């Protein structure tokens, strides 16, 4: 088991301390800092099927592997958005399904693959698209969460209803489905959209309090994009509207 520490509060970073020969894998560009004896190797992280799967999901086709050489090492991976970093111990038959951008880093030997909903409609209305990522095998994985992370352990048949975009991850033993908001007034005046996601146990559910897409929507009225190529081009921020 790899040694690690999560620091930084709401601006988290996971600092890992691999022993000699231990390897951590991450998508291209996720490493923040490391000791000089960490050797980096870039590859496609699998066969053609996995490469096309990552392209289809909008992720990088390349994976970076960092291996401690000549002794123990140190490497850090920082979250790309204010929130939380959650460690999850993956074992055979106890994998995890995460939102597309939730994977941060993992021990070599784990398998990162594309998770498709059985019915495309479920995912299309689920807020994160119908493609998620499944991590399986045996080892530790680190998941980044937007905002505060609330965890629920669901028993067999127990459910929780999640609004669009708030589902960050779930045990692969959980199932998810989409249910329609009932009532005409609720649909048109409730402000919650037409659909909710229902997660049913057994398993653990990770819910995020500040989905990045919601934050972007909240900020959009205050941002003006200036497409000019001169020195005045860029993003202007408006206040007081």
| CA-based nearest residue to 170, from 188, 154, 181 | 154
Return the domain boundaries, the chain.
3-218
Read off the pLDDT band of 214 (50, 70, 90). Answer: confident
Report how far residue 1's alpha carbon sits from residue 184's, in angstroms, rounded to the nearest whole number: 53
What's the pLDDT tens digit per position in 38-53? 999 998 765 545 555 5
What's the pLDDT tens digit per position in 44-84? 765 545 555 555 555 556 789 999 999 999 999 999 889 99
**Confidence (pTM):** 0.80
CATH architecture classification, 3-218:
4-Layer Sandwich (3.60)
Report how far residue 142's alpha carbon sits from residue 87's, in angstroms, rounded to the nearest whole number: 5
Q: How far is CA 221 from CA 81, 191, 195, 212, 228, in A?
A: 20, 18, 25, 15, 20
């Amino acid at each position: 088991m790899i040694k690690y520490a999560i620091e930084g509060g709401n601006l988290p970073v996971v600092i890992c301390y691999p022993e000699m020969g231990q390897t951590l894998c991450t998508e291209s560009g996720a490493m923040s800092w490391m000791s000089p004896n960490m050797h980096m190797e870039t590859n496609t992280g699998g066969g053609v099927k996995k490469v096309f799967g990552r392209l289809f999901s909008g992720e990088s086709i390349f994976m970076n592997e960092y291996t401690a050489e000549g002794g123990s090492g140190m490497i850090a991976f920082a979250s790309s958005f204010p929130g939380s970093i959650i460690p999850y111990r993956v074992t055979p038959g106890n994998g995890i399904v995460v939102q597309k951008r939730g994977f941060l880093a993992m021990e070599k030997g784990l398998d990162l693959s594309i998770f498709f909903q059985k019915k495309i409609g479920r995912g299309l209305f689920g807020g994160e698209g119908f493609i998620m990522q499944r991590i399986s095998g045996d080892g530790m994985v680190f998941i980044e969460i937007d905002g505060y992370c609330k965890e629920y352990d669901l028993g067999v048949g127990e459910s929780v209803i999640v609004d669009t975009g708030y589902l960050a991850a779930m045990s692969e033993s959980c199932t998810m489905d989409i249910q329609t908001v009932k009532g005409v007034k609720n649909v048109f005046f409730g402000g919650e959209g037409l659909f909710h996601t229902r997660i049913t146990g057994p398993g653990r559910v990770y819910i995020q309090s500040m989905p990045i897409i919601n934050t972007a929507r909240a900020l959009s009225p205050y941002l003006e994009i200036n497409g000019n190529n001169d020195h005045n081009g860029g993003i202007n921020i408006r206040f007081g509207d």
